[in-house]
């Protein structure tokens, strides 16, 4: 848990968020012990910005890992309560994380809320809807 927090915090500090000034860090623990981080990266064309959760998940898959290789994920921001992932990220997390994976939402005070992807996005749109 400490290592996951450290990586999420490191990623939080890597945030490129000159427009919102709202930094977010995410980290993902893999079965082989690797921890991959991701941060939010904004753009002057605001809609092209990418959230920390998606940066981290896309990095994991880009490294060649699959859904089953993932154990847990952490998301961190400087919020009064554990950060609440946006709707777009909930959709992506629902598809790319295993159902059993713990999603640990946290903040700089280390308040923590642990949820599963199904709780974050009940009745999600999935490949079975296509
Ligand atoms: N952001 C995230 O990185 N994750 C979320 O779940 C919520 C929002 C980012 C997007 C944008 O760069 C900034 O936070 C403010 O919305």
**Which domains are assigned to the chain?**
2-129 (3.40.140.10)
Catalytic annotation on 53?
yes
Q: What percent of the chain has pLDDT over 70?
A: 100
Condensed to tens digits (0 to 9), the pLDDT of residues 66-122 reads 999 999 999 999 999 999 999 999 999 999 999 999 999 999 999 999 999 999 999
Alpha-helix runs per DSSP H in 14-85: 52-62
Q: From ligand 1's centre to the CA of 103, what distance in Å?
A: 16
Q: Can you give the pLDDT at residue 96?
A: 98
> What predicted TM-score, i.e. pTM, was given to this entire model?
0.97
Residues 6+ apart with CB under 8 A from 64: none
Exposure of 99 in the CB half-sphere (CA atoms within 13 A): 4
Q: Pick the catalytic residue: 6, 10, 42, 53?
A: 53
Atom of ligand 1 nearest to the CA of 19: 12
3-state DSSP assignment of residue 79: coil
């Amino acid at each position: 848990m400490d290592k996951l927090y450290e990586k999420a915090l490191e990623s939080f500090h890597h945030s490129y968020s000159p427009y919102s000034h709202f930094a977010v860090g995410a980290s993902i623990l893999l079965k082989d012990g690797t921890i991959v981080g991701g941060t939010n990266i904004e753009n002057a064309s605001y809609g092209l910005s990418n959230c920390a959760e998606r940066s981290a998940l896309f990095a994991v898959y880009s490294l060649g890992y699959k859904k089953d290789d993932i154990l847990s994920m952490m998301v961190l921001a400087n919020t009064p309560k554990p950060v609440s992932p946006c709707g777009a990220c909930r959709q992506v997390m629902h598809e790319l994380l295993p159902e059993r994976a713990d999603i640990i939402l946290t903040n700089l005070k280390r308040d923590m809320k642990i949820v599963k992807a199904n709780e974050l996005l009940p009745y999600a749109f999935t490949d079975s809807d296509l």
